[in-house]
Amino acid sequence: MTREEQVLKAMLEAVDTLVDDFDLIDFLHQLCDRCNELLDVSAVGIMLADPNGGLQLIAASDEHTRLLELFAVQTDEGPCVETQRSGTARLNIALNAPGETARFPRFAEQAQAAGFRTTHALPMRLRRQNVGALNLFDTRAKALSASDAQVAQALADVATIAILQQRSLVHSSVERAQLRAALSSRVVIEQAKGILTERWQTTPDHAFDALRRYVRAHNASLTALCQQVIDGSLDTSVIERP
């Protein structure tokens, strides 16, 4: 498959989310996967704004990135936080350059400890409405090309449209409920990952990959599957182990 075909596939997947049974968590994890594939970056994280103007981590491509993004939320520091507030992209940030990271020294230190050397933050924005931010990480001192930056912003824009389209279908109170449900789903998913990690003696990333492969193969809900793992109503031997 050519790069152009991969980009088109990613766009079509985003358009396919404009349905009644839109699964926000699964969609954003899928977006992380597509960014990894198309942009040749090491990791991806996605944050969405909550009704109070704060940020919440919703999806990450791996466990190290999830913990780093949680740190950014807790300390209210980092390029993703800045981008969500300003609506402006921050590209090619060298995490070991004093001038670049003076505004977020704690985040830069944590990111380097996780093995990352470069980061990029792109806004998820439509007109004046900032939905969140897309964060890209690289373990190499590698700049994002102009064409890759365009693809990354296009993916962020399509994801933003998909989210806002879904929200526009319902009242604002349901919009808040959707975000609360997404955050609750994240907790359920993390609990299920922890159970399988311990049971299989594997990593959280491998456990999560196994869960996602199962729901894709059975056209099931990721959150529902994870709840079944937690309450023991599913025999986890039916899930293919990593």
Q: What is the CATH number of the domain that holds 145?
A: 3.30.450.40
71 and 33 housed in the same domain: yes
CATH at residue 196: 1.10.10.10
The predicted pLDDT at position 167 comes to 66
Number of structural domains found in the chain: 2
Instruction: Please state the rounded mean pLDDT for residues 130-135.
Output: 92
The predicted pLDDT at position 190 comes to 93
Instruction: Please state the rounded mean pLDDT for residues 124-132.
Output: 85
52 and 155 housed in the same domain: yes
On whether residue 56 sits in a domain, the answer given is yes
132 and 211 housed in the same domain: no
Tell me the per-residue pLDDT of 63-84, one tens digit each, with 9 for 90 and over: 989 999 999 988 999 999 999 9
On whether residue 18 sits in a domain, the answer given is yes
11 and 117 housed in the same domain: yes
Tell me the per-residue pLDDT of 12-24, one tens digit each, with 9 for 90 and over: 776 666 665 667 7
Model pTM score:
0.72
On whether residue 53 sits in a domain, the answer given is yes
- Domain range for 226 is 184-238
On whether residue 134 sits in a domain, the answer given is yes
Neighbours of 40 (CB within 10 A): 14
pLDDT higher than threshold 70 for residue 172: no
149 and 189 housed in the same domain: no
Tell me the per-residue pLDDT of 184-236, one tens digit each, with 9 for 90 and over: 888 999 999 999 999 999 999 999 999 999 999 998 899 999 999 999 999 99
